[in-house]
């Protein structure tokens, strides 16, 4: 996917107090960094950050981390945060495939929001619900596993249902049209979701867990 390129994107992002530089230094120490024992929830591929920022505002007693690979995308999040004071939010510029280097068993919930669908079979391993990623998540979940996934992509959704169930996850909630659900599901929209919502495209949603 092509994104807008910013001049000095790395300077803008590196100047943000929300950015955790050298996140591997905080492996097993995220509690100390946040200064409390609250839950720590992680979004993989946060993009321009609307979801994780608004989650941090809505739930001040939960800690949130937004991880994003693309520095240009991160500029959007950093700019939105310029006038905000959210002690329960941190941002990381890293590849999701490296999360086991950044976290020990510290994470309560992982959000997979409008992740790249990687439709070609040869790219299957890059899907955030491929077994290799599920194994990676096992290394960072504190105790019970808990994944919340939202996507507009039917193929990725179907794949994720199969992959998660084969990995013994149980589905706590599933919706094939999140915004027109008979029983409303509490929801904060991502940047991509807002666009798709306006286009009236159905959003697929699942919440999966595994109790240890």
Ligand X SMILES: C[S@@+](CC[C@H](N)C(=O)[O-])C[C@H]1O[C@@H](n2cnc3c(N)ncnc32)[C@H](O)[C@@H]1O
Residues that bind ligand X (CB under 6 A): 44-47, 67-70, 73, 95-97, 113-116, 190-193
State phi, psi for 114 to the nearest 5 degrees.
50, 45
Task: State the nearest-atom distance from the C-beta of 71 to ligand X, in Å.
Answer: 9
Q: How many residues does the chain have?
A: 212
What DSSP string describes 39-87? -EEEEES-TT-HHHHHHHHH-TTSEEEEEES-HHHHHHHHHHTTT---T
Of 159 and 192, CB closest to ligand X: 192
CA quadruple 75, 96, 160, 55: dihedral positive or negative?
negative
Of 69 and 185, CB closest to ligand X: 69
Of 123 and 144, CB closest to ligand X: 123
Tokens, residue 189: 């929209």
Task: State the nearest-atom distance from the C-beta of 37 to ligand X, in Å.
Answer: 27
Task: State the nearest-atom distance from the C-beta of 149 to ligand X, in Å.
Answer: 11
Task: State the nearest-atom distance from the C-beta of 124 to ligand X, in Å.
Answer: 14
Of 102 and 208, CB closest to ligand X: 102
Task: State the nearest-atom distance from the C-beta of 201 to ligand X, in Å.
Answer: 13
Closest CA to 212 of 137, 117, 128, 154: 137
Of 68 and 106, CB closest to ligand X: 68
């Amino acid at each position: 996917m092509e994104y807008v390129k910013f001049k000095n994107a790395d300077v803008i992002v590196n100047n943000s107090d929300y950015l955790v530089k050298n996140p591997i230094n905080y492996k097993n120490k995220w509690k100390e960094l946040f200064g409390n024992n609250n839950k720590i929830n992680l979004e993989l591929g946060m993009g321009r950050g609307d979801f994780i920022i608004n989650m941090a505002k809505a739930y001040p007693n939960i800690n949130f981390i937004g991880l994003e690979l693309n520095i240009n995308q991160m500029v959007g999040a950093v700019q939105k945060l310029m006038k905000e004071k959210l002690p329960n939010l941190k941002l990381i510029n890293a590849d999701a495939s490296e999360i086991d280097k950044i976290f020990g068993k510290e994470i309560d919930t992982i959000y997979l929001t409008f992740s790249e669908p990687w439709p070609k079979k040869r790219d299957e391993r890059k899907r955030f619900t491929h077994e290799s990623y599920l194994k990676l998540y096992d290394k960072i979940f504190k105790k019970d596993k808990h994944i919340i996934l939202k996507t507009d992509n039917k193929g990725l959704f179907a794949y994720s249902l199969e992959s998660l169930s084969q990995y013994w996850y149980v589905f706590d909630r599933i919706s094939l049209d999140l915004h027109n659900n008979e029983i409303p599901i509490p929801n904060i929209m991502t940047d991509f979701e807002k666009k798709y919502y306006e286009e009236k495209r159905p959003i697929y949603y699942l919440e999966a867990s595994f109790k240890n």
